[in-house]
Amino acid sequence: MQTLTTEIKKKCIRSLSAEELKDFFVASGEKAFRAKQVYEWLWKRSARSFENMSNLSKETRTLLENNFTINPVTISQKQVSNDGTIKFGFKLHDGYLVEGVLIPADDRMTACISSQVGCSLTCKFCATGYMDRKRNLEPYEIYDQVVLIKEAAEEHYQTPLTNIVLMGMGEPLLNYANVLKGIDKVTAEDGLHIASKRITLSTAGIAKMITKLGDDKVKFRLALSLHAANDEKRNTIMPINETNNLNVLKEALLYFYKMTGSAITFEYIVFDGVNDSVQDAKELYAFAKNIPCKINIIEYNPIQEADFINTSVDKLEQFKKVLTDKGIIVNIRRSRGKDIDAACGQLAIKEVK
């Protein structure tokens, strides 16, 4: 007689809360305090295997091995730019890849991380927008990207990670619950304990979820990927604007500020002949003037899929002057990692040749 065996799929241990972990140990006849030890290994010490948990007995580690997986994110490829920027291809447990970037600067060390495999928003200037969205990242996959980039900062530059931006692949607010749980693990005292104010979430503009961020009184920073301040123009660049127009977004941003006290950062890429005129700058001022904010003007980074080109230096300075003359705080952000497709808007999975 033939015996049929079914392999039981193990649960990822990092999907359990501290309380659920405690329940597991008690039900297994182990001491409840083991849960605290394991939780610390997972979230404070970033253990990638049960074997690493050296203060647990071999029996306890075997118990964990037989019941759970950790599903660590691994680095499948790494490229170093001429300017010191490092791009990572991160491999997930199911074989999918996402990208992240370490951006070194004199005054900060920034990790740019992803929130989804691919993206569903089809922004015309963004390489990720030309990919299909395969799935949302889990909280532990968001956490792992930070850990791996943090380790790279310490290894390559002997400098601790100072800032985190969710500006990689995907729209963070379409993975709301997992993103907030991932940020919680990064900021928690029993996690990586990185200050919330050093984290910025960038969104293409999902108004109802921006409102929810306000209701949840989040402590991290919010950036809006704007790129045009009239609806007709923004609709063509960012189709999400058709269902989240500028008036609706403005209301949501003002509500967010009222609930959190945190000023907004507007990100504005200047495309030659598209959104770089004096009139465009005046429209941007009209949109931003009543919202506590600063504006980051970002150099455009070309991608194969689109035919936008960067504006001229003269036009850029003229654009900036319109805003600064009216009292708006404006920073011009230069591209980093362009030679390895690691710059803003260039993230898409490509094999390194």
Please state whether 139 falls in left (phi above 0), alpha (psi between -120 and 50) or beta.
alpha
Query: What is the H or E stretch that residue 214 is in?
Result: helix 207-215
For residue 73, the SS3 value is: coil
Q: Residue 267 corresponds to which tokens in the numbers above? A: 């990100």
Residue 34 to residues 16, 22, 39, Cα–Cα distance (Å): 14, 7, 8
**121 touches 127 (CB < 8 A):** no
The three-state (H, E, C) secondary structure of 78-133, written as one string: EEECCCCCEEEEEECCCCCEEEEEEEECCCCEEEECCCEECCCCCCCCCCHHHCCC
Number of Cβ within a 10 Å radius of residue 180 = 19
Give the integer Cα–Cα distance in Å for 222 and 71: 29
- Whether 99 is catalytic is yes
Of the residues 112, 119, 293, 344, which is catalytic?
344
Give the integer Cα–Cα distance in Å for 219 and 196: 6
For residue 221, the SS3 value is: strand
Of the residues 30, 99, 151, 189, which is catalytic?
99
Give the integer Cα–Cα distance in Å for 169 and 349: 10
Give the integer Cα–Cα distance in Å for 80 and 88: 9
Give the integer Cα–Cα distance in Å for 322 and 118: 36
Please state whether 166 falls in left (phi above 0), alpha (psi between -120 and 50) or beta.
beta
For residue 194, the SS3 value is: coil
Residues contacting 175, CB < 8 A, separation 6+:
115, 116, 136, 137
The residues assigned a catalytic role are 99, 344
